Every structure is written in structure tokens, then in C-alpha cells.
Structure 1
Amino acid sequence: MSLTTDQRYTSVAVLLHWGIAACILFNLATGFFMEGLKGEAKHVVVSLHASSGLTVLALSLLRIVWRLSHRPPPLDAHLSRLERLLAEGVHGLLYVLMLAVPLAGWAISSASTRKGAGAALWLLMPLPKIGLLDALPLPQKVAAHDSAVSAHQIGAWILLALLAGHVAGALKHQFIDRRPQFARMWFSGSSSKV
């Protein structure tokens, strides 16, 4: 079954989707093991993790602007009411977490009390701090740091669960329902729609 241009996401939306997905997968993978690293290896991985997280934040903001200015294709007409509600709910929560989890990570770095070099943005320059958090007195800074760590970890686990549901839904629609889900969120060789 081939899709019309109106049934596909735009090339920009597709590029943002897969770019964000790659960064999130990288961050989830590095987040599970980076605290066990030491020395320069830890600094490099933490810096890349933070850089990728801020990239998720920036690309997510771009994606929201793009989505508000470019109507997405309608959901597949074959979806049940429950599937529509699940799709809309999961997508909404994904957008919230694509903003909240990186912001919590940035807050961790900004409220850190560790001495020495902090994370480096793409290993090129120091990661900027959120001024309000960086300027807190020590006891409040420690409390803010601990709260941000908890929020970041809980958010990452919820994000992982939502991503698993998102992927499971796409696989179900593609292979069980035999609907062209993957073609909706992939580049069309013949379409000039941007």
C-alpha cells in the first residue's frame, strides 16, 4: 500500500524525529553505565551525554515549533478509539519528557558542587550553567541537585517505558495490522514535501 503525501510526515519532521530518537537512545545507553566510569573516560562520556541531552532539548523545541506550524498527517483511519487515545497520550507525554528530562539533566550539572572541570558541550566548550541554580547557597544547591537527579532518573525510566510502547505500537500496526506505519515516518523518495 503506497501513501499519499498527505499521509506522510514532512521531511523536516522525519529528520527531527530520527535525530531526536538517536540522541535519546544514546543518552539512555550512556546513562546506565557512565556513573561507573572513572577519570577522563567518565568526563568524556558525561560530556557527550549532556551534549546529546541538550541537543534533544533543542531539537524537541524545533519539532514543537515545526508541528505547530505544519499540520501532521491524520492518524490511520483503521485505528480503534483506544489506539487513538493511546497514540495521542503517548506522543503528548513523549514531548513533555523530551523537554523535562534534558532540563533536569542540565539542572544536575548546574547545581553540582563537585570541584574541577564540568561537562564540556560536545567536548569543545564548558557546558553553560543555569544561573539561578549555580548561584544557590550550598545547602539549597545540594537539595536542588538531589531533586534534579531524582527527576532525571525517574523521567528517564518513564521515557524508556513510553518509547517501548511507541515502538511496540508501530510494530503492531506495521506487521500485525499490515498498515504502512514506517512509511509515514520515513523519507519519501518521490515527495518534495518539506
Structure 2
Amino acid sequence: MSLSSAQAALLLMVDLSVEDRITINATNGLSSATVSGSDFTGFYLENFFEADNNVVSATLVSGDLVSAQDVSNLSPQLFRAGGTDTGLNVFSYTAGPFSSFVAGQTAFDGAATWAVSSAVYQDALNGALSGDIWFPADDDSDLSTATLIGQWVVGVDVPEAPTFALFSLLFFAFSRSRKA
């Protein structure tokens, strides 16, 4: 029996609120499958970018993102195959050569932030708002042999500046009229 995307838990939250930065935060979501594989191959966020073909050149700013069953090496890396592949690969995140996920247990721990080019950042902004996470997979050609372990989603906790300013102005006006 195959797991559908609709049944997969939210495992990673992507923050694109800082220009030219990609931040990935672990949630407390549970892995949908038990699977082990190469840390060098890593996990794959399907449909992360728009169809544009910008190669990812990323510099790790900070990060301890890791599979919850493993120990972080504090240096997770990003990869994009290019061509028509719209996914994002995270690899080399464990202190050992292998990575594991266990069904029903927390999938990931930690967070990581990478500095990326403006073109890559724009591709991420124009990409999907959510998608599947596959392991082990470094590009879309691996999906036929990879295992779906959960979902990723783009989310931001702070309101956009114009929206926040408008809300503050309305609140101030309302509070002044109530005093009169």
C-alpha cells in the first residue's frame, strides 16, 4: 500500500522572509516511513523552485538541521540538479555516512539557513508553497526508488510591513475614537 501526499505529515517549514536566504526549520512531525540511505544523497523537497534553471550556489550561514535519528555535522549543503528539475536537495547533514527515518517518530531536528543568489531566491519565491519530501533522493530521477517521508511548506510568522503598518494605523484610530 502506497502512502499518498495527503496522508504525509508536515516535517519541514521553509522561511523565505529574508531576501537571498533560504531557511529550513524542522517541525515535530512524524516520519511516514522507515527508511535508511546515504547522507551524501540526502533528502529532496519536490517542486521547490519554479521551472527556471538556476544552479544553486549556497553558503551555509548557520545550521544543525539533521534527521532526528542522527547527529548533525553542522554543515548541511544544498543542491539543485538543474535542467527541468524543480526540486531542492539537502545533503551531507549527518556526522556519519548514513541517515535514517523511522515511521511514527520525529523526522527532523534543528534548522539551517543558507545565503543564495538573488536569482535562486527569486526561483524559490516563485516556486510551490508546499510539496513532498523524498529520501534518499538528490534529484527527480531518484523519485522512482525513493520513499515519501512527509511534506514541506513555505510559511512566515511575521506580517508584511505594509499590512502591519495599516493594522497599527487602524488600531490607533479606533482607540482614539473610543476615548472621545
Taking structure 2 as the reference length, the TM-score comes to 0.25
Which structure carries more helix by proportion? 1
Which structure carries more strand by proportion? 2
